[in-house]
Every structure is written in C-alpha cells, then in structure tokens.
A = this chain, B = another copy of it.
Amino acid sequence: MTALPKTPFLGVAYYPEHWPEERWKIDADLLHEAGVDVARMMEFAWDKLEPESGEFDFAWMDKALTIFQEAGISVVLCTPTPTPPPWLTSQYPDILRVDDKTGQRAVAGSRRHACCNVPAYRDFSAKIVKAVAERYGDHPNVVAWQIDNEFGCHGTVRCVCDYCRAEFQKWCERKYKTLDALNAAWGTQFWSATYHKWSEIPVPAPTSASHNPGLLLDYRRFSSDSWVSYQKMQIDLLRQYIGERPITHNFMLRFFDLNYRDFAADLDIVSYDNYPHGMSGPSECAFNLDLMRGLKRKNFWIIEQQTGHVNWTPFNPPAPPGQVRTWTHQAFAHGVDAVFYFRERAVNIGQEQYHAGLLKHDGTPDRGWHESKQVKADLAERPALTRPQAPVAILWDYEDLWTFELEPHNSAFSYYREALDLYRTCWDQNIPVDILARDADLTGYETVFVPSPALIDEAQVQKWRSYVEAGGNLVVLFRAFFKNPGSTWSDQPMPAGGLSDLLGMTVDEFLSIPLVPNVGLRPPIDKADDWNDDRGSHVNDVSARPGIGFGENFGLPTKTRYQLWAEVLKPTTATAILRYSDGYYKDGVAATANKVGQGTAYYLGCWCDPILPRVLWQALGLQKHVVTSDVRGAVTEIVKLVDETGQNVDVLLNHTKHTVTLPETSK
C-alpha cells in the first residue's frame, strides 16, 4: 500500500466520470505539475459504478487509478452514496426525503434527496459500499477513504417521513425507557401533549404553532444520530476490506445541523471543506479551521478548498491573485496536514458549471493552478512546523447551539456569533486559540471561555472547579446552565446545577435587548415615540478592587457598550467587576470574579461590544500573548508555530489583495 505523502501535502478533487478517458493522463500530469500528490475520486459516481441494480462496472475506475498511479498521484476513494441513481429512486420512491420545513417529499434529480432511515436506501448503500470496498480495499494506489459527501448539505438533515417517525419513536423508547420518563423530560403536560403510546409521538412537521422544545431538541439529536449511524454502517463495512487506511468525511463551514463531534469520533481523520467566500473574512476562516482541529484535537485535512470563484453565493466574485495561496497557507498554519483543491477543472456539465477549478473549462491552467504550483514551491522552502497548544481555549457545544437556535428569545442572538466574537477578540491580537468540546480536558490552558452553556451538567462543574483550583481562569458567559437535557427550565436560580457555587453568584434578572428601537411587534409605519424601551447601554469597570490583580487606572474610558443580552447579577462569594451605568438596573452587577483555589472563575453577564471588556482582558493577562505586526494598512495574521528544533516560527499571512512590504525586523 502506498503511504500518505509527507505532510503538509496538496491534493485535488478529480472526477474521471466527467471527462473523456483520453483526457485522464493529460489531467494527471497537469495536476502533478501543479504539486498535487493525492486525488479524491468517486463520491458522486454511483451510477457509473452500478449502472443497474446489482450490475457493477469497475473497468473505468480501474483505468483511472492506474493512470493516476503512473502519474505519481495516489488516491482517496469515496463511497458514492450521496447520489442514489435514478434506477434506485424509481424502484423505491420512499427513499426520497420529506422536508421538515415544508412537509413535502423531494423528487429525484438532485443530490442528498434520500432519507437515511429508509431500509432500501441503507441496503443499497451497503451493497455499493461493499462492492467498492471489495474491489479497491487493498488497491496499492488507494491511500484513504471518504464516507459519502457532506452529510446534510442543502438543509437535508431532518426528514419527517414515516420511516423517520417510526425510527424516532424507537429512538425515544431506547433513550427514555418509559413514556413517563419522556413526558417528564419534555414537560408534555404543557398544551396537553402527554403521550400514552410510543406511536403517538409526532415528528416536527409543519403545524399550527411551535412544537415542544424538548421534542425539537431530541429530533435534532435523533436526526444527527441517524446520520452518525449511517456513517458507522459504512465505516464498519469498509474497515473489513481496507486495512489501516484512514477513513474521513468532509465537514462544512457554518453548518450546525449535525453534531460533528459524534461524527468525528468514528473517523480517523476530520476533513473540512474550506470555502472562504462563504464567510465574512479571514478571522471567520480561522475560527472554522480551529473548530475543525478541535473536533479530534489533532491535525486534519481540507479536502475541498475553492480555487477561484464559487457558484453558490449571491454574486460569486473572483478570487484575486494570491488569495488561493494565502488561504492554503492559512490552513497549514492552523494545523491542516493536507489541502485538496476543489476541483481539477471547471466542470462542463451539471449543476456546478460556474465553479472555478485549477484548470479552466477549456482545460488550460487557471490562476489556481499557478498558485498551487507556487504553494508546492513554498512548502519545499519551509521547515516542518507544528502548532503548539494555545494559551486560550473556547468550549463549543452543538447541543447548546441547538438550544438557542430553537428558542433564541432575541432574534439576533446567535451562539455561533458569540463564540466567533470571543475568537475574533483574540485573533485580532494574534493570540492563538483552541476550540474544544465542552467536556474537554483543560490541562495547560491559562484561560478558558465558555460561551453560554445552556444545558445543565453537574458533572461538568466538578471538572471546571478542578481546573480553576489548579490556577485556571474560567470565563463563563451569560445564559448559563438553566436548561435540563429535555429543554425544560431549571427551578433553581441561574446558573443551576452547582455552577453558581463555583462562580459565586446568581442571576437576578435577564434582559433581552432589542437591536432596533422597537417595543414588541410594530409594523414599520408606526411611531413609537410615546413608549420607552430599554436598549443596550453601558457598563462601568469597577476598578481598584483588591485581590483580583488589576485595578490600575490607565486614564482610559472605563465605559463599554453592550447589546442583545444583559443580566443583573447577585454576587454571593464573588466580587463585582462590572456594573451597569444606566438603565433602571443602574449600578447592578454585570460581571463577577470569584477566587477559587489558585485560579478565578469569572461570569460575564452581558454581551459587551467588544465582547471582552478591558477589565477582563487585564484580569486574564491576555496582553502578554499579543503579537503585533509592523506591517501597516493590511490585515496580517501572525501565527506562532514551532519547528522541529522547538524554535518559534512566526507565519505571516497577508489577507488583502495588496502587496505588503515587510520591515527588516519582521522578516
């Protein structure tokens, strides 16, 4: 078996089925010239591999593998299950999913139109996976496998077909054992929804008002679990044939319908599809890279990266010169072992014809091809670098996100944005951040941020206490520990589950702050000057407080604005470090610090703007990790890596389209 290339390496998505056979060798050579070591193939090729039910055609794929092997390019093969072919959906139309937002069954002719809970889809998926695994499991040029492609894309995670309904009822029975337990967990006595038979439990298809939040949260869990189980079925099958070859699946940006931690647990390598044009800028790119690295706390792959314009945003602008190269190096600097470009060539058929590739539609090199070649040259000059553990961690939890997504209370409230705001505050100052699971081992971190941990977990409090006692800084943000696992509200003050003891405070009142000057629902034509509402205003640092280690007065303004969410706190053992400077809750406490053992547990009760007020920044000692740049007028990201000798190496990334000249001292 060919081993994986030395990392970091370059790859590409290649679709032999899209091109005439006589082109394959030309492409392989062109791609090799561009520095590509590995090609990913086959994820949408079910109809070519199995043109009719049970009749397989591998000749073309055999040939493609041989040609690429001869060109010096090894291959990641994919199971082709995201696109059940017409013969399958025609014979088994039940396979087609029923959308939870519209209640309507999809027709065929697209991708991801299948429901993973339909036995026919599972069975035929298993057959094609077994067939390709038997054929290519020990192929000498196949170095890794990808399961399916982008589970859940196009909003397809949650189906409400009859199979899903039956499976959900079984899932509930496995989870809750008794209907009494389920009814209690969801609080079904609200609106008279007590279930006396498992078969009475509905799926959250469109209805008159909203569904029970416990049912909705469990349906998110169930739907994610369904795809986890579908992935696991494929992994277990594959593993019987492929030896030690690693298995991966490609995750998406800004995608939260699946619990990626559960998927990552069953995979050897996390892969990620990096499309910067789907994001607001390089800080959000960096956030998503660090989020992916944190899923298994190890290096990962970018198995798709745009090589020019994409085809799915409203305007799809070009990628100016140098940008593909920068994106690639940004990825490597954030712990990526391989960047696969998407795709070999702008495709001449199907739904993605307007997506750029390394080659143009006419088969000649596009700008991306030249940049790939340049990256390969860059890597040859570059020492081997590794990314050390960061001083700061942000804890990220899909179920907390779902909880707020289902009931935001404030339509502008976003768990994702909260975590991203925290991340950007550090990124802007080049402070490295790791993004970890909410229950991660926190050894070695100076500061840990916990954005709005909605769901109560008493066991977790113990871990956090140990971390703080050993000297850590734990910063918990508003809306913490108030929801039980079934999305019912605790009858204890917030934060519940023992967290208030660790933090030394409780929440006396929470306030949702309108984004717009608006009381309630008002059509735009109305005037509201006769009615006052409370919108976010300011908090004051409570300075010169002994025992916390800060309080020096720099002569800077001590007021900070806040927005969207505010809580008035009641300290018990904690000290106030921020107080509201106006509003009817003027002088109320907005943030606290609680010394516990060698460390401090902070609670930040309002969404400051910027999210970390000066008093916290100072208390956490973040200033010492700031890396500044001498480069002016450019968004320059500086990433601190270490080489094989342990020496620090700063990687500078120029995220503008302008050429930047480095001063001597920073070279």
Give the B-binding residues of A (Cβ under 8 A).
17-18, 44-48, 51-52, 80, 83-87, 90, 97, 102-104, 106-113, 153-156, 186-197, 199-215, 275-284, 309-318, 320-321, 346-354, 360-363, 366-367, 407, 409-412, 417, 482, 488-494, 509, 511-516, 518-523, 525-528, 530-535, 584, 635, 655-658
Contact = CB atoms under 8 A, between A and B. Distances in A.
Given A80-B192, A411-B315, A348 B530 contact: no
Given A348-B491, A532-B658, 16 more contacts: A85-B194, A109-B215, A110-B210, A155-B208, A187-B350, A190-B349, A213-B353, A280-B526, A282-B530, A315-B513, A317-B513, A317-B514, A321-B584, A347-B489, A353-B488, A412-B525
Contacts of A283: 530
Nearest to A486: B349
A528 B281 contact: yes
Contacts of A317: 511-514, 519-520, 533-535
Nearest to A508: B360
3 tightest A-B contacts by CB? A187-B349, A190-B350, A277-B520
A23 B85 CA distance: 59
Given A197-B90, A492-B362, A528 B209 contact: no
A565 to B, nearest CB: 10
Contact of A18 (B190, B194, B411, B527): B190
A618 to B, nearest CB: 25
12 contacts: A51-B196, A86-B194, A86-B197, A87-B196, A209-B351, A278-B520, A280-B523, A284-B526, A313-B520, A315-B518, A361-B491, A412-B525
Contact of A104 (B48, B103, B154): B103
A191 B149 CA distance: 11
A112 to B, nearest CB: 5
B192 A45 contact: yes
Contact of A280 (B18, B107, B154, B522): B522
B407 A354 contact: yes
Nearest to A515: B315
Contacts of A190: 18, 44, 347, 349-352
The interface centre, meaning the residue of A83, A112, A187, A315 with most chain B CB atoms within 10 A of its CB, is A315
Q: DSSP majority for the A interface?
A: loop
A635 to B, nearest CB: 4
A278 B104 CA distance: 33
Contacts of A655: 530-531
A108 B349 contact: no
A352 B85 CA distance: 45
A157 to B, nearest CB: 11
Given A314-B521, A412-B525, A212 B109 contact: yes
Contacts of A84: 192
Given A194-B48, A203-B107, A519 B277 contact: yes
A329 to B, nearest CB: 16
Given A200-B86, A280-B519, A212 B47 contact: no
B488 A208 contact: no
Q: Which of A83, A211, A349, A535 has the most CB of B within 10 A?
A: A349
A657 B586 CA distance: 14
Contacts of A203: 107
Contacts of A112: 208-209
A531 B206 contact: no
A346 to B, nearest CB: 7
A112 B192 CA distance: 11
Given A107-B202, A635-B530, A315 B512 contact: yes
B512 A351 contact: no
Contact of A111 (B208, B520, B533): B208
Contact of A110 (B201, B208, B348, B532): B208
A530 B654 CA distance: 10
Given A309-B512, A313-B521, A657-B532, A109 B193 contact: yes
A280 B530 CA distance: 9
Contacts of A527: 280-281
Contacts of A213: 350-351, 353
